[in-house]
């Protein structure tokens, strides 16, 4: 891999372009994953590009300078009829919205009017595949001269074609970085004029929750997460807050959060550690702290053991705090929606105490009335506290609440990657704990039903099964299902449990569930 | 082995699963191939995210190593935790409370300004401090108020002065600074707030708009019971609040009365001063006088059923009260404590007597607590037998007391009892033709479309009446030809029946009842009792009646005998007859003031009126109109007494048709249009915009609109409606009585004929156009 010294002096890198971008991996080695340009901006004469690394989570998206782009392998936005699922890995979501394509088209159209190029262009309203312009790029040798037949026939005209000649031929010439497993898989799908990016937001044949054809309609009013991204646009796909200062921590947001727009240009957004109010400057924060006398989340403490406490906050009674909490949480939860008010939710904030007060570590929200057995809506450990067992504590607490309620529960879907790992880990440990504690009675093999596991743990039956499956514990042996515990599993579990020094103590929980259905609305 | 020969059963969550250690089952791997029966559970992640590089790596690492290796975790953007000034920023003196923290309600509602001063402000305030006194908090509060006072438009300086309590100079400084800062700021507000949703719905997809209100109800289905309960509660609340309003209104009245009392007392005092009544001699004299006259309590808001009060009495009471007021005052002044409540109540102009209905006037029925409003409670029934039909006063209406001297003067009562009805409309014995038998007592009434309705009355002799054979009656008439001539008035019994309304079944026993059949027969013969029989009436019985009446009797039987309307063309002879009738009718109107009925047959056949006859009819109307005008004056002056009090609506009112004709654009009718025009709409033939039809059907409308009331009633072809534009538009109920003035009908026909240029209008079309009349 050679790094391009000087690239785009003559070439316009527009939104939707794809090219390898340099980044450091966890071992601090250079790698060149394929990335998509989502946005371009100019800061003091230098161009900055907002890139999304394909097949990496959005949270790693960042603004990069031009010298990190590998211009040799630049791919312009291209429209193909492709079903990403069939063709290799579907990759992560981002791909260019319609308007980006159109923008680039306009640019291309402008340059195409030059008399030297004898291109026949369709009417401006038609979307054109900007392939013919690729030869403009002087320092890009792999780009071939395309067959004349494809030049005049943009792919948009043949939306059904799976792979056009143009695409194939170019693909042959491209040397795709070995790190980008499916660089060719992420192509733009031709979308209908006037539609948003619905068409290319994923495998539509598999989950088409939205039948409204991109007509903006209000999302459903239950739950806290969106899996339907029809409301997504380029704004929400990009992080808008650079840095958040919360207490002694500085956090780099992972995702978009609808803090007031005028605050998004600030280098640092200051948050009051206790009431989570957002402030534009340190001075303002100082002033605020003279007036804010909170030293704990403004709710009732329903659990305390050691320094760990849980506070319950009613999203209806304490709107300000709930909204501030949601805004902060949205920075780290991709699928969280803040479309509607916080009224139907309860917020359980986990804190750690020191002489300054009760510091927020993480939280989970919960619908007062869930129609789908959700016992958690959103759950988050703030980044400074991650990977230290707090997440498991939060999850454990959520199931303790369910136990008091006498219900089984499950987290609201979709799960994030980290959410999946955390929950799987919690479920595994919880179930293994039970299985290993089973004592043989009367010399017989100990046995247990899935329902029993579910009842003991308050973990929903489906989650129990999926965990057993994931751990590969279910085996079919001599005409019946059995659960088998391998040595690896047992050892791994014992090691993991040693790390779980902090546990939720049900005796310290002071919680009486309320029947919200009897309280009018929420 | 037959490992694959049987299918693995689905995993049953209720079935116990034995737990084995792998080392106990050395042959387990042999069975591994049939592990497929358990369906793969979804992970719960979005499909495309699930395949993300780092996650897959982490999952596989976990599966390989049993636990996560440090370099295999999912990378996240870094977080810093070494803020140097943190220690100084937050005080470190917080002691953990021993008890679990329980948030007190409202403890969060501190009156702190939301605005936080920034460094620019700091500079400004520091500068300002040299000139005048201002604290940072004070400054923040001012800005906070200015910000919160501004909506789309900024607060102006005068408004700011009202908003802020500081002195003007300071306000001006801060205001100037604020408006400058606000102008330079890109944001909507200096207090940074989350973007609110717009009402027009344009913000549905704005990513910066958050925390929208949930407009729709969530799951009404699930909580339907609950919704009902809350609805009931809302109703109760509304009623309680309206009660509060009522009480407040009453308090207002009371206070007004108090004020008036004060004024009057003052007046008395001044008067005494002028009279030099320092010793109170005059007062004492007046008081002595006063003691003789018992104060009368006049409920100005009378109880529902207590407003029957003689008109004159009422007046005198009012006047006497007026004169008494000052004297009363004096008494009040002297013996404030000893005075009975009733006296003070009497002179208070505000009503001292309230009744339950008044209290309830703002109330709304709710299902649980106020059944009495619905009239279902028995206790209520006793107090208020009229229930839902109880008389209720209307605001702005003047009510007069009932006329004592005209009791029984029902519209259907004969003239000698003060009623308006001709004796033939009174209750009389009635015999039908088709079930040929005597029906007992009934009175005739015109219904819709000229139908004759018989109101039957119950009497104790019904079975006797039923036995009356019309034939015997006939022969009896012949044999008893020499019966004594009818006396001037009916027998007491007959008159009793005559005044018997369907509701009023009171003291019948007082009269001398005819005991048997022959007696009744005799009474009939002697014309003491009227006996009505359609068609078969011997002519000689009606000899003394005018010809029209005969015709009437003929027409009446028609609906009863179900003979369809005849559609013969009108001959000249008939037309002449018709003319005569018209003249006759006018006379009738002037003489008797009673309802007339025109010949229905004529009405229908009038469709074939030619131009000439139309002309005639129109001109006839002109005269009728004049007569009407005369009559109206008469009636208005006469009706004054009756007007105010609501007569039971129904028959009587229905028979009245107010018809003031005024020129109509739509009907280019012959000369008649000069003074008046009415347009008739036969079927769909005409599309002329019909004038608004008015028919004042209730007492209030009668009173309000100076519409001429016309007593002439004409049965009209089945459902012909005449649109009569009135000078003043009275919005009448939809039910237009099908009866209408003969003149108007004539004119209408004329107009129709002229308008449509149709020599013949089929009777069917003329009879059916109910729908096209606008309502």
pLDDT per position as a tens digit, B381-436: 455 566 667 777 777 777 777 766 655 556 666 666 556 666 666 777 777 776 77
- Nearest by CB: B41 against A301, A323, A465: A465
Per-residue model confidence as pLDDT tens digits over B33-70:
655 556 778 888 988 888 898 898 888 887 766 555 66
Give the contacts of A465 (CB within 8 A, at least 6 positions apart). A450, A474, B11, B13, B38, B41
pLDDT score at A111: 41
Q: Band the pLDDT of B528: cuts 50, 70, 90.
A: low
Do A243 and A315 touch, CB atoms closer than 8 A? no
A301 is catalytic: no
Backbone φ and ψ of B40, nearest 5° = -70, 130
| pLDDT classification of B613: cutoffs 50, 70, 90 | low
- pLDDT of amino acid B32: 64
Q: What is the pLDDT of residues B113-172, one digit of tens each?
A: 999 999 999 999 999 999 888 899 999 999 998 988 887 788 888 888 888 888 888 999
Is A420 within 8 Å of B122 when comparing Cβ atoms? no
A412, A444, A452, A455: the catalytic one is A412
Q: Which of B658, B644, B632, B634 is nearest to B722 (CA)?
A: B658
The conformation of residue B67, written as its DSSP 8-state character, comes to S
User: Strands, E, within A249-290: which ranges?
Assistant: 249-251, 269-271, 278-279
Among the partner residues B73, B118, B208, nearest to A261 by beta-carbon distance: B208
Give the DSSP letter of residue B408. Answer: T
Is pLDDT above 70 for B606? no
Residue of B nearest to A307 (CA): B96
> Where does the pLDDT of residue B653 fall: very low under 50, low under 70, confident under 90, or very high at 90 and above?
very low
pLDDT tens figures, B474-514: 554 444 444 444 444 434 444 444 443 443 333 444 444 44
pLDDT over 50 at B331, yes or no:
no
CB contact under 8 A, B89 and A285: yes
> Which of B55, B90, B118 is facing A273, going by the closest CB pair?
B90
Gap from B45 CA to chain A (nearest CA, Å): 5
Query: Å from B11 to nearest chain A CA?
Result: 7
Query: A397 near A375, Cβ under 8 Å?
Result: no
Spatial distance between the Cα atoms of B438 and B534, rounded to a whole number of angstroms: 11
Contact A59, A92 (CB under 8 A): no
The shortest C-alpha distance from B145 to chain A (Å) reads 17
Interface of B with A in 71-130 (CB under 8 A): 71, 73-83, 85-86, 89-96, 100-103, 108, 110, 112-113, 116-119, 122
Q: Where in chain A is the domain with CATH 2.30.30.140?
A: 19-73
Longest Cα separation, chain A: 93
What is the pLDDT at residue B279? 81
- The structure tokens 């007959």 sit at B494
Residue B296's pLDDT band (boundaries 50, 70, 90)?
A: low
Distance from CA of B239 to the nearest CA of A (A): 21
Q: How far is CA B25 from CA A70, B20, B37, in A?
A: 56, 8, 20
Mean of the pLDDT values across residues B292-321?
48
Contact partners, residue B515, CB within 8 Å, separation at least 6: none
A26 φ, ψ (degrees, to nearest 5) = -65, -25
Give me the mean pLDDT over the B90-98 stretch.
Answer: 90
> Are the beta carbons of A340 and A356 closer than 8 angstroms?
no
Residue extents of the structural domains in chain B? 108-184, 229-287, 410-473
CB contact under 8 Å between B67 and A254, yes or no, is no
Higher pLDDT, B332 or B66: B66
CA A214 remoteness from chain centre: 21
* CA angle, B306 then B312 then B318, to 5°: 75
The C-alpha atoms of residue B620 and residue A452 are separated, in whole angstroms, by 101
A19-73 architecture in CATH?
Answer: Roll (2.30)
Is domain A296-508 classified as CATH 3.40.630.30?
yes
Helix ranges (DSSP H) in B164-223: 168-184
> Please, which pLDDT band fits residue B638 given cuts at 50, 70 and 90?
very low
Q: What is the pLDDT of residue A324?
A: 96
Residue B579: band (very low, low, confident or very high) from pLDDT cuts 50, 70, 90: confident
Query: How far is the C-alpha of A177 from the C-alpha of B771, rounded, in Å?
Result: 83
Higher pLDDT, B667 or B98: B98
Residues of chain A with pLDDT under 70: 1-10, 79-217, 227-232, 519-522
Cβ-based neighbours of B206, under 8 Å, separated by 6 or more: B195
Judging by beta carbons within 10 Å of its beta carbon (0-12, 13-18, 19+), is residue B696 exposed, middle or buried?
buried
Is the pLDDT score of B705 beyond 60?
no
Of the ranges B72-81, B332-341, B566-575, which one carries the lowest mean pLDDT score? B332-341
B380 close to B389: Cβ distance less than 8 angstroms: no
Tokens of B560: 């009863």
Structure tokens at A284: 């303002």
Alpha-carbon gap, residue B346 to B348, rounded angstroms = 6
CB atoms within 10 A of CB B230: 14
pLDDT for res A240: 93
H or E segment to which residue A169 belongs: helix A165-173
B338 Cβ under 8 Å from any chain A Cβ? no
Q: For residue A296, report the phi and psi dihedrals to the nearest 5 degrees.
A: -160, 160
Nearest CA in chain A to B92: A356
Contacts A318 to B, Cβ<8 Å: 108
Q: What is the pLDDT of residues B725-753, one digit of tens each?
A: 444 444 444 444 444 444 444 544 544 44
Burial zone of A498 (CB within 10 Å; 0-12 exposed, 13-18 middle, 19+ buried): exposed
Q: What per-residue string of b and e applies to B60-72 under the rule 16 or more CB within 10 Å gives b?
A: ebbeeeeebeeeb
pLDDT for position B616: 56
Structural tokens at position B691: 């004038």
Phi, psi of A515 (to 5 degrees): -90, 100
* d(C-alpha A391, C-alpha B217), whole Å: 34
The angle at the Cα of A174, spanning A168 to A178, to the nearest 5 degrees, equals 115
| pLDDT above 90 coverage of chain B, percent | 9
Res B370 pLDDT > 70: no
What would the pLDDT profile of B203-262 be if each residue is shown by its tens digit? 777 889 899 888 654 444 555 566 777 888 899 999 999 999 999 999 999 999 999 999
% helix / strand / coil in chain A, to the nearest 5?
A: 30, 20, 50
Residue B554 has pLDDT above 60, yes or no: no
What's the rounded Cα separation, in Å, for the pair A420 and B395?
A: 72
pLDDT given at position B572: 63
Kindly list the distances between the CA atom of residue B736 and the CA atoms of B132, B647, B745, B770, in Å, as whole numbers in the listed order: 81, 18, 14, 10
What pLDDT score was predicted for residue B553? 47
Question: What's the rounded Cα separation, in Å, for the pair A126 and B253?
Answer: 77
Q: Tell if the CB–CB gap between A301 and B102 is shorter than 8 Å.
A: yes
Instruction: For chain B, give the number of residues.
Output: 775
Query: Is residue B561 over pLDDT 60?
Result: no
Q: How far apart, in whole angstroms, are the C-alpha atoms of residue B419 and residue A376?
A: 83
Structure tokens that stand for B343 in this block: 């006296």
Indicate yes or no: CB of A235 within 8 angstroms of CB of B22.
Answer: no
The tokens of A186 are what? 């992420």
Do the interacting molecules here have an ipTM over 0.85?
no
Q: Which of A119, A184, A180, A196 is nearest to A153 (CA)?
A: A119
Best of A31, A201, A231, A481 to substitute, by most chain B Cβ atoms within 10 angstroms, is: A481
Mean pLDDT of chain B: 63
Query: In this complex, do B38 and A469 lie within 8 Å of one another by their Cβ atoms?
Result: yes
Listed in order, strand segments (DSSP E) in A449-498 are: 474-477, 480-485
What residues of chain B, 195 to 234, have a C-beta less than 8 Å from chain A?
A: 195, 204-205, 207-214, 216-219, 222-223, 226, 230
Consecutive H or E run containing A322 = helix A319-330
Closest-approach residue (CA) in chain A for B112: A291
**pLDDT higher than threshold 60 for residue B769:** no
Centroid of chain to Cα A23: 20
- Helix, strand, or coil (residue A9): coil
Rounded Cα distance between B680 and B689, Å, is 10
Half-sphere exposure of residue A489: CA atoms within 13 angstroms, side-chain side: 25
Contact B405, B412 (CB under 8 A): no
Is B214 in contact with A341 (Cβ distance < 8 A)?
yes
Phi–psi pair at B79, nearest 5 degrees: -125, 145
Best probe of the B interface among A267, A337, A339, by most B CBs < 10 A, is: A339
- Pick from B233, B334, B316: which is nearest to B280 by CA? B334
Given pLDDT bands bounded at 50, 70 and 90, which one contains residue B443? confident
Please list every residue in chain A whose beta carbon sits closer than 8 Å to the beta carbon of residue B184: none
């Amino acid at each position: 891999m050679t790094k391009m010294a000087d690239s785009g002096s003559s070439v316009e890198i527009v939104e939707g372009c794809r090219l390898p971008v340099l980044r450091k991996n966890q071992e601090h080695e250079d790698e060149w994953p394929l990335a998509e340009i989502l946005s371009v901006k100019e800061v003091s004469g230098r161009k900055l590009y907002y890139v999304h690394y394909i097949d990496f989570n959005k949270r790693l998206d960042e603004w990069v300078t031009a010298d990190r782009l590998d211009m040799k392998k630049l791919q312009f936005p291209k429209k193909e009829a492709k079903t990403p699922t069939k063709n290799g890995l579907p990759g992560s979501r981002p791909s260019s919205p319609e308007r980006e394509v159109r923008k680039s088209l306009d640019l291309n159209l402008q340059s195409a009017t030059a008399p030297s190029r004898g291109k026949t262009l369709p009417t401006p309203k038609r979307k054109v595949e900007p392939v013919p312009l690729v030869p403009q790029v002087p320092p890009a040798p792999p780009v071939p001269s395309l067959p004349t037949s494809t030049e005049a026939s943009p792919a948009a005209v043949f939306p059904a074609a799976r792979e056009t000649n143009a695409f194939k031929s170019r693909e042959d010439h491209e040397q795709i970085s070995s790190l980008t497993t499916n660089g060719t898989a992420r192509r733009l799908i031709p979308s209908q004029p006037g539609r948003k990016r619905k068409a290319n937001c994923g495998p539509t044949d598999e989950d088409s929750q939205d039948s409204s054809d991109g007509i903006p309609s209000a999302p459903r009013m239950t739950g806290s997460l969106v899996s339907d991204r029809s409301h997504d646009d380029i704004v929400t796909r990009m992080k808008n807050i650079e840095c958040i200062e919360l207490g002694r921590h500085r956090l780099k947001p992972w995702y978009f959060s609808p803090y007031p727009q005028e605050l998004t240009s600030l280098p640092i957004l200051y948050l009051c550690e206790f009431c989570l109010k957002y402030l534009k400057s340190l001075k303002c924060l100082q002033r605020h702290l003279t007036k804010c006398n909170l030293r704990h989340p403004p709710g009732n403490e329903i659990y305390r053991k050691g320094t760990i406490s849980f506070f319950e906050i009613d999203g209806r009674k304490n709107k300000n705090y709930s909204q501030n909490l949601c805004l902060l949480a949205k920075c780290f939860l991709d699928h969280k929606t803040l479309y509607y008010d916080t009224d139907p939710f309860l917020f359980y904030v986990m804190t750690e105490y020191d002489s300054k007060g009760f510091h927020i570590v993480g939280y989970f929200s919960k619908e007062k009335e869930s129609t789908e057995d959700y016992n958690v809506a959103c759950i988050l450990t703030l980044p400074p506290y991650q990977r230290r067992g707090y997440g498991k504590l939060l999850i454990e607490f959520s199931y303790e609440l369910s136990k008091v309620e006498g219900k089984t529960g499950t987290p609201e879907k979709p799960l994030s990657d980290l959410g999946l790992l955390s929950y799987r880990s919690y479920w595994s440990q919880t179930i293994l704990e039970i299985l290993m504690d089973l004592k043989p009675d009367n010399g017989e093999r100990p046995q247990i039903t899935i329902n029993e596991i579910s009842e003991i743990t308050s973990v929903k039956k489906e989650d129990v099964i999926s965990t057993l499956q994931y751990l590969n514990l279910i085996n079919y042996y001599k005409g019946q299902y059995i659960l088998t515990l391998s040595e690896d599993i047992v050892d791994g579990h014992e090691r993991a449990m040693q790390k779980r020094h902090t546990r939720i103590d049900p005796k310290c929980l002071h919680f009486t569930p309320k029947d919200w259905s009897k309280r009018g609305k929420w | 082995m037959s490992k694959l020969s049987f299918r693995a059963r689905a995993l049953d969550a209720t079935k116990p699963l034995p737990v084995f250690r792998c080392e106990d089952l050395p042959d387990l791997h042999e069975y591994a191939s049939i592990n497929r029966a358990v369906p793969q559970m979804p992970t719960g992640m979005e499909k495309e995210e699930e395949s993300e590089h780092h996650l897959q790596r982490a999952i596989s690492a976990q599966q390989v190593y049993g636990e996560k290796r440090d370099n295999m975790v999912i990378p996240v953007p870094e977080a810093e935790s070494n803020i140097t000034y943190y220690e100084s920023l937050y005080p470190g003196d917080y002691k953990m409370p021993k008890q679990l923290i329980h948030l007190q309600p409202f403890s969060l509602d501190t009156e702190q300004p939301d605005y936080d001063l920034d460094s620019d402000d700091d500079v400004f305030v520091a500068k300002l401090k040299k000139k005048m006194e201002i604290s940072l908090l004070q400054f923040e509060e001012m800005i906070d108020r200015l910000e919160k006072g501004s909506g789309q438009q900024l607060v102006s300086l005068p408004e700011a002065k009202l908003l802020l309590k500081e002195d003007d100079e300071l306000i001006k400084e801060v205001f100037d600074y604020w408006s400058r800062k606000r102008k330079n700021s890109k944001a909507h507000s200096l207090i940074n707030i989350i973007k609110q949703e717009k009402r027009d719905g344009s913000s549905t997809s704005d990513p910066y708009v958050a925390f929208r209100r949930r407009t729709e109800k969530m799951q009404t289905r699930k909580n339907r019971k609950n919704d009902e309960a809350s609805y009931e509660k809302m109703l109760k609340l509304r009623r309680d609040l309206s009660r509060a309003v009522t009480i407040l209104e009453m308090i207002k009245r009371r206070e007004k009365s108090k004020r008036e009392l004060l004024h009057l007392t003052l007046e008395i005092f001044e008067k005494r001063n002028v009279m030099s009544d320092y010793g109170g001699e005059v007062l004492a004299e007046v008081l002595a006088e006063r003691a003789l006259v018992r104060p009368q309590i006049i409920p100005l808001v009378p109880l529902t059923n207590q407003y029957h009060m003689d008109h004159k009495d009422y007046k005198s009471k009012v006047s006497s009260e007026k004169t008494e007021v000052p004297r009363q005052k004096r008494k009040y002044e002297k013996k404030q404590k000893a005075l009975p409540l009733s006296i003070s109540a009497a002179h208070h102009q505000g009503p001292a007597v309230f009744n339950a209905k008044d209290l309830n006037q703002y109330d709304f029925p709710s299902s649980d607590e106020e059944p009495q409003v619905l009239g279902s409670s028995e206790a209520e029934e006793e107090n208020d037998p009229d229930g839902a039909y109880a008389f209720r006063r209307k605001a702005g209406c003047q009510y007069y007391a009932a006329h004592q001297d005209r009791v029984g003067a029902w519209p259907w009562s004969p003239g000698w009892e003060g009623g308006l009805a001709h004796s033939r409309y009174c209750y009389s014995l009635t015999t039908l033709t088709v079930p040929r038998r005597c029906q007992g007592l009934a009175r005739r009434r015109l219904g819709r479309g000229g139908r004759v309705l018989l109101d039957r009355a119950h009497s104790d002799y019904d079975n006797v009446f039923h036995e009356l054979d019309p034939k015997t009656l006939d022969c009896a008439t012949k044999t008893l030809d020499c019966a004594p001539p009818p006396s001037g008035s009916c027998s007491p019994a007959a008159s009793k029946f005559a005044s018997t309304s369907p509701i009023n079944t009171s003291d019948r026993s007082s009269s001398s009842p005819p005991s048997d059949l022959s007696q009744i027969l005799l009474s009939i013969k002697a014309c003491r009792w009227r006996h009505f029989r359609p068609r078969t009436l011997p002519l000689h019985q009606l000899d003394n009646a005018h010809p029209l009446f005969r015709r009437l009797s003929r027409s009446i039987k028609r609906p009863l005998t179900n003979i369809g309307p005849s559609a013969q063309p009108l001959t000249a002879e008939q037309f002449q007859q018709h003319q005569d009738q018209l003249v006759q009718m006018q006379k009738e109107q002037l003489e008797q003031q009673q309802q007339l009925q025109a010949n229905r047959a004529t009405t229908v056949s009038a469709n074939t009126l030619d131009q000439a006859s139309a002309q005639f009819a129109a001109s006839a109307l002109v005269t009728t109109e004049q007569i009407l005008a005369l009559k109206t004056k008469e009636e208005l002056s006469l009706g004054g007494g009756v007007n105010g009090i609501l007569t039971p609506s129904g028959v009587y009112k229905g028979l009245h048709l107010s018809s003031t004709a005024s020129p109509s654009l739509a009907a280019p009718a012959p000369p008649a249009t000069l003074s008046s025009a009415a347009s008739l709409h036969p079927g769909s033939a005409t599309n002329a915009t019909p004038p608004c039809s008015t028919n004042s059907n209730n007492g209030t409308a009668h009173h309000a609109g100076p519409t001429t009331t016309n007593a002439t009633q004409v049965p009209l072809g089945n459902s012909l409606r005449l649109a009569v534009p009135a000078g003043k538009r009275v919005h009448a109920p939809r039910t237009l009585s099908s009866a209408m003035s003969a003149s108007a009908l004539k004119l209408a026909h004329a107009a129709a004929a002229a308008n449509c240029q149709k020599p013949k209008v089929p009777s069917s079309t003329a009879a059916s156009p109910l729908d096209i009349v606008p309502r």
